[in-house]
Amino acid sequence: MGGIREDMHLADYRKGVDMVPSRDGYGHGLLWLCEHDDRVVVCDADLAKSTRTIWVRDKFPEKHVDFGISEQDMLAEAGGMSRTGLVPFVTTYGVFVAGRAWDQVRTSICYGDLNVKIGGAHGGISVGPDGPTHQSLEEIPLMRVLPGMTLVVPTDAPECQKATIWAASHEGPVYLRFGREGVPVITTEETPFTVGRAEVYRDGDDVAIIACGPLVYEALVAADTLAKEGIDARVINCHTIKPMDVDTVVTAARECGAVVTAEEAQVYGGLGGAIAEVICQHCPVPMRIVGIEDTFGESGSPRELLDRYGMNSGNIIAKVKEVLKMKK
């Protein structure tokens, strides 16, 4: 039997977890950067409180620029600033940046290879009561299709902090997708994190569960339940959607012979789509995708919505059983 890998230094999530919003990790990452990197400037579109850029505004007012509610302008302005040697972190909700300002991200930033970092907040249906207008479910396909873009979906607050700090050290556009709600903290300071490298958190070779964002926790819980039934699941935190860690994915497909992906996003073109592209080209095996099934969300509590729209450990288990039946 496999099990949790010691060298991943995960929190002991079985004994209970702290619930912290990943956006806090973004805010802490920005604070660290403001102290250590003169080039960093934090751009905001009237959402300082909810994106945590207010922490920067309070402590480093000279590093905070508010653009008001004008995301298209803000994205291209950040591009302009980046060419003068600054490293702008542009922050707003996912729908307003990946959606509304997509053309600015595409043509000005990615085509022009400008050094802009995008903090895409309020990703996922767990945004909750604000409803579908603010629940961003489409950023993964919208961003990963752009040449030159690096796309990271951190699993929890500590990982989001690491990703934020990493982004400043990388030359080129980066999109960080994170949510609003408190989510289980499963990683620690010692947990390895390298952009572009998917980490195997749990060994197993009956099926591979490849997840990103808060669904990594659900995958670990699912794996524990499956273990009791004698099914040994490998759990992979695939935080970097682009560039995809092809080797880890192909190895998992080859050794496990079946794959389930899990994300808090539309099932079309997201993590599942990215993994499917790899698997069907390099090592075709049965596969299923856990996510939102081509529909918009609705208002509700985060937990209710994740259950209603099929993104909990039970949904992962159901899909695992489907692929196991298909496995020869």
Residues involved in catalysis? 71
Stretch that binds another protein, among 78-86, 153-161, 166-174, 210-218 (CB under 8 A): 78-86
Selected binder of another protein within 40, 56, 81, 98 (CB under 8 A): 81
**Residue 23 and residue 158: Cα distance in Å, rounded?**
10
153 in Cβ contact with 212 (< 8 Å) = yes
Q: How far is the CB of 171 from another protein (least distance, A)?
A: 13
2-41 residues in contact with another protein (CB under 8 A) are 41
Give the Cβ contact number of residue 88 at 10 Å.
24
Q: Is 44 in the site for another protein (CB under 8 A)?
A: no
Could you tell me the two tokens for 145? 């299709």
CA-CA distance, 13 to 66, in Å (whole number)? 38
Q: How far apart, in whole angstroms, are the C-alpha atoms of residue 164 and residue 301? A: 28
70 lies in the site for another protein, by CB under 8 A: yes
22-36 and 157-169 helices, crossing angle to 10°: 40
Name the one range near another protein by CB under 8 A: 13-21, 64-72, 131-139, 305-313. 64-72
73 lies in the binding site for another protein (CB under 8 A): yes
- Residues 1, 15, 16, 85: which binds another protein (CB under 8 A)? 85
Distance (Å, whole) CA 259 – CA 275: 9
Name the region of 256 (left: φ>0; alpha: ψ -120 to 50; beta: rest).
alpha
Is 79 a binding residue for another protein by CB under 8 A? The answer is: yes
Give whichever of 16 and 61 is closer to another protein, judged by the CB atom. Answer: 61
147 binds another protein (CB under 8 A): no
Q: Residues in contact with another protein, total (CB under 8 A)?
A: 27
Binding site for another protein (CB under 8 A): 41, 65, 67-68, 70, 72-73, 75-86, 103-104, 106-108, 111-113
